Amino acid sequence: MEYLDENDLNIYTDGSSYASPRRGGIGILFVTVDDEGNERTDEYPLPGYDGATNNQAELEACIEALRAITKRRPFIDPAPFRRIVIRTDSKYVVENYSHALYEWQSNKWMKRDGNPVANAQQWEELIKLIFRAGKRVEIRWVKGHRKSAHNKTADKLAKESAAQRSGQRLSIVKVRRKKSDRSVEPGSVAMRGQRMTIRIVTDEFLRTQRMNKYKYEVMSARSEFRGCIDVIYSEPGIHLSAGHTYYVQVNAEPRRPRVVKMFREIVPV
């Protein structure tokens, strides 16, 4: 059984995603406790997001929960409560919360290895809402579903949300079918400053960091990495499109992969 402090505004959040078609849903449940220890639960149903990953859905559930209580007419007024406690079964959210709060935002949403923080626009919005809340906000991990009745309800709401097509997107990623039978494996292509022919599988513009992110497959016939699928980035001046093939040069920084030059697009004859 879960014991909740009557001085806290407790929010249970969950994210869910369907693979085909890709759609993410969010679940939000507000739980308050009166002076006699009686719990009140308030569901906050919302539609899902096309193309969203599970991590994006988990993060967006926290964002929408804070939006609900910081808008002009809040769903629940946070003023009487000592603090706001968000409870989630997402280790992705819990383990990265302190990085976003104390490290990433001061480093322009770049990680220590020099690569962009994933879902930076969402993390940035979450931090803004935390400061806007005017209360201490804690994000705690709760073991999912079987161990938590409230988390089970949030999970149900997330699945219902994912089933509703809203047309909304959390990010715009252009995707094309890969030709290789391999899976994406970050770091599978060594960065040695080499030139090679690559085909872009996905392309996404990271608005917060002003960079392009790609998943690509190596097409060069003589390359030891032929058929490998990896992740790489480029500055705004170099833009590669999903489904197109290019002859490029990469940098020589194994932990910070970049396309440094695009020589030409290779058009099928």
Across 21-44, average pLDDT: 92
Burial of 101 (0-12, 13-18, 19+ CB in 10 A): middle
pLDDT of residue 145: 62
> Model confidence over 220-258: pLDDT tens digits?
999 999 999 999 999 999 999 999 999 999 999 999 999
Q: Is residue 167 part of a domain?
A: no
State the residue for tokens 């308030």.
42
Side chain identity, residue 26:
I
CB atoms within 10 A of CB 67: 18
Across 1-21, average pLDDT: 87
Which pTM was predicted?
Answer: 0.92
Same domain, 59 and 129: yes
Q: Is residue 38 part of a domain?
A: yes
> Model confidence over 178-206: pLDDT tens digits?
999 999 999 999 999 999 999 999 999 99
CB atoms within 10 A of CB 39: 13
Task: State the pLDDT confidence band at 18, using cuts at 50, 70 and 90.
Answer: confident
* Residue at which a domain ends, from 162, 184, 212: 162
E-strand spans in the chain? 8-19, 22-33, 39-43, 49-50, 83-88, 136-141, 173-175, 195-206, 211-218, 229-234, 245-250, 259-266
> Model confidence over 89-109: pLDDT tens digits?
999 999 999 999 999 999 999
Across 17-40, average pLDDT: 90
Report the alpha-carbon distance of residue 114 to residue 128 in Å, rounded.
23
* Pair 189, 160: CB distance under 8 Å: no
Same domain, 157 and 95: yes
Same domain, 152 and 187: no
Check which CATH number belongs to the domain holding 23 and give it. 3.30.420.10
Bond preceding residue 268 cis, omega within 30 of 0:
no
146 pLDDT more than 80: no
Task: State the pLDDT confidence band at 154, using cuts at 50, 70 and 90.
Answer: very high
Same domain, 155 and 178: no
Same domain, 39 and 151: yes
Report the alpha-carbon distance of residue 212 to residue 235 in Å, rounded.
6
* Residue at which a domain ends, from 162, 182, 217: 162
pLDDT of residue 231: 98
Same domain, 41 and 154: yes
pLDDT of residue 164: 85
| CA atoms 223, 224, 227, 233: torsion sign | negative
Q: Is residue 168 part of a domain?
A: no
Q: What is the DSSP letter of 135?
A: S
Same domain, 117 and 232: no
Which domain does 135 fall in, by range? 8-162
Same domain, 121 and 153: yes
Same domain, 152 and 184: no
* Pair 236, 246: CB distance under 8 Å: no
pLDDT of residue 99: 95
* Residue at which a domain ends, from 103, 133, 162: 162
Report the alpha-carbon distance of residue 47 to residue 60 in Å, rounded.
12
**Triad 101, 59, 158: Cα angle to 5°:** 155
> Model confidence over 42-89: pLDDT tens digits?
999 999 999 899 999 999 999 999 999 999 999 999 999 999 999 999
Same domain, 65 and 144: yes
Beta-bridge partner residues of 206: 211
Check which CATH number belongs to the domain holding 253 and give it. 2.40.50
How many structural domains is the chain composed of?
Answer: 2
Q: Is residue 187 part of a domain?
A: yes
